[in-house]
Amino acid sequence: MSTNVLRTPDGWWAVRDEHAVRIQTKAITTAELLAERAAVREAAASGESGTPVADLVALPPVTTPCRVVAQMVNYRSHAKDSGFTGDIPPTFFRKASGSVSGPHDTIVRPTHVNFLDYEVELGLVMGAPLPVGTVVEERDLPSYVAGLVLTNDVSARDVQLTKTQFYESKSYPTFTPTGPYLALLEPEDFDRLIDLRLRLSVNGVTRQDRTLADMIVRPAQALTLLARFQTLDPGDLLLTGTPGGTALKAPPKPVEKIAALLPPALKWKAFFNGQAKNPLYLRDGDLVTATIATPDGHIDLGEQRNAVADAT
């Protein structure tokens, strides 16, 4: 069964139910911790009563700097919301690891961003090097992926769309809440990935709710495609896409056809005038809550609770 690991300002902890036992390790980085799985298992099997998890301050369990890579439009429901039809070519982009923040940290909206969006995503944490040219079969996943984390790919849509700039629009500080848990998997746990359900709500209202059955490119294939050009190392992070339900959605076909006739400046002005009426974008004072788990709790990545605040 998977083992949940929590990172705090004073070290690493193995989580059992509502309590955590300190892992006896000098590891500072996630990669260093992954090299000490025996210490993790020892803490998880300890008879200690432990410390209540509620008394601990959770940091992101993926330490930085590291590579943060993400998949674009990788759920059928998201593709539909985005107006895609037919086959969607697998596409990757990078995020700055400086965007990684804690599972309960505030998401800060930069002053120039008007359309701040959310994207709950399953993160794969690498446990072994993935050299360029590697082919990963389903049976090989345990050899490369150490565990899973809950992430939120926060996005500045006005930057993303007008500049066609994914890197900037998704890389501002606090734009990748991560954790609380790093779920270290045993080989048999990988058979349960398909059962994972991603949920995200804003102010208690559900916005996203899908399982990995909605995913287009599964993790093994994604790693194979990524390895055509990108090396990954232990502790690196791959975000595997988000389900439908984000604030941004494609305009209706008649509107899209009319907009195509407009000069670019007028097209974007019309589009964003319409988006300004969309109440789903994140605002100062909102609370974003996200979870990823199997229905029986066999794998449970914990809960994120992130307030949203405007930059000052």
| pLDDT, position 161 | 86
pLDDT > 70 fraction of the chain, expressed in percent and rounded: 94
Q: At what angle do helices 253-260 and 264-275 cross, to 10 degrees?
A: 150
Pairing mode, strands 237-239 and 68-72 = parallel
- Alpha-carbon distance 155 to 167, whole Å? 10
| pLDDT, position 265 | 60
| pLDDT, position 255 | 46
| pLDDT, position 88 | 87
- DSSP strands (E only) in the chain: 3-8, 11-16, 19-22, 51-52, 68-72, 91-95, 100-101, 107-109, 116-117, 120-126, 145-152, 155-156, 176-177, 181-184, 197-202, 205-211, 237-239, 287-293, 300-310
pLDDT tops 90 at residue 235: yes
Segments in 116-249 forming alpha helices (H): 141-144, 157-163, 166-169, 219-226
Asked if omega into 173 is within 30° of 0 (cis), the reply is no
Q: Going by C-beta distance under 8 Å and a sequence separation of 6 or more, which residues neighbour residue 230? A: 67, 69, 92, 132
pLDDT tens track for 166-191: 999 999 999 999 999 999 999 999 99
| pLDDT, position 267 | 64
Please count the helices (runs of H) and the strands (runs of E) in the chain: 9, 19
| pLDDT, position 163 | 79
Taking residues 30-35, what's their average pLDDT? 98
pLDDT tens track for 117-162: 999 999 999 999 999 999 999 999 999 999 999 999 999 999 998 8
CB 20 within 8 A of CB 51: yes
Note the pTM of the prediction, 2 decimals.
0.94
How does the average pLDDT of the chain come out, rounded?
Answer: 93
Instruction: Name the token pair of 150.
Output: 């809950």
pLDDT tops 80 at residue 259: no
pLDDT tops 90 at residue 85: no
| Lowest mean pLDDT, pick from 46-60, 148-162, 233-247, 272-286 | 272-286
- Alpha-carbon distance 188 to 168, whole Å? 38
Taking residues 37-44, what's their average pLDDT? 97
| pLDDT, position 260 | 57
pLDDT tops 60 at residue 263: no
- Alpha-carbon distance 208 to 121, whole Å? 10
Alpha carbon separation from 15 to 52, 85, 142, 176, 257 (Å, rounded): 9, 43, 21, 23, 53
Q: Is 195 helix (H, G, I), strand (E, B) or coil?
A: helix
Q: Is 187 helix (H, G, I), strand (E, B) or coil?
A: helix
Token match 């229905």: residue?
295
Residue 193 CB neighbour total at 10 angstroms: 23
- Alpha-carbon distance 259 to 90, whole Å? 27
Instruction: Name the token pair of 143.
Output: 């050899």
| Lowest mean pLDDT, pick from 97-106, 219-228, 255-264 | 255-264
| pLDDT, position 276 | 84
pLDDT band of 266, cuts 50, 70, 90: low
Taking residues 280-296, what's their average pLDDT? 98
Residue 311 CB neighbour total at 10 angstroms: 13
